[in-house]
Amino acid sequence: MHNHPSTGTFSATDIKTFLLNDAIFIMTAVGNDGFVYSIQKTNKVDAYSFLSDYFNEVEHYKELGYYNDATLAIRQMLKNASKYGLIYMKGGM
């Protein structure tokens, strides 16, 4: 568990650390606005497909001229987390 002063969801570094470390089963982040983000692996997690698709998504946003393409790509990928054997949840106060 860690905090996110920016109040946003997981960063690209968070997701990479989470997916590439077999010892991490669940990760949470708490924003200063009270929102809690959680991501959990299932027994069907496909980390390499997630990361491959994430990098493709980053390139897509770069081509569109977006400055913060990594953040946009992560947000898009988390919308489809279940496709990769992940459970993503967001809750607030």
| Mean pLDDT in residue range 13-35 | 91
Please state the domain extents for the chain: 2-91
Residue of 90, 89, 78 whose CA lies nearest to 15: 78
Cβ neighbors of 73 (< 8 A, separation 6 or more) are 12, 54, 57, 58, 60, 61
Residue 32: the pLDDT is 81
Is the Cβ–Cβ distance between 69 and 58 less than 8 Å? Answer: yes
- The tens digit of pLDDT for each residue in 31-50 reads 888 889 999 999 999 999 99
CA-to-CA distance for 83 and 77, rounded, in angstroms? 9
> pTM for the whole thing?
0.86
Is the Cβ–Cβ distance between 4 and 36 less than 8 Å? Answer: no
Is the Cβ–Cβ distance between 2 and 13 less than 8 Å? Answer: no
Residue 21: the pLDDT is 95
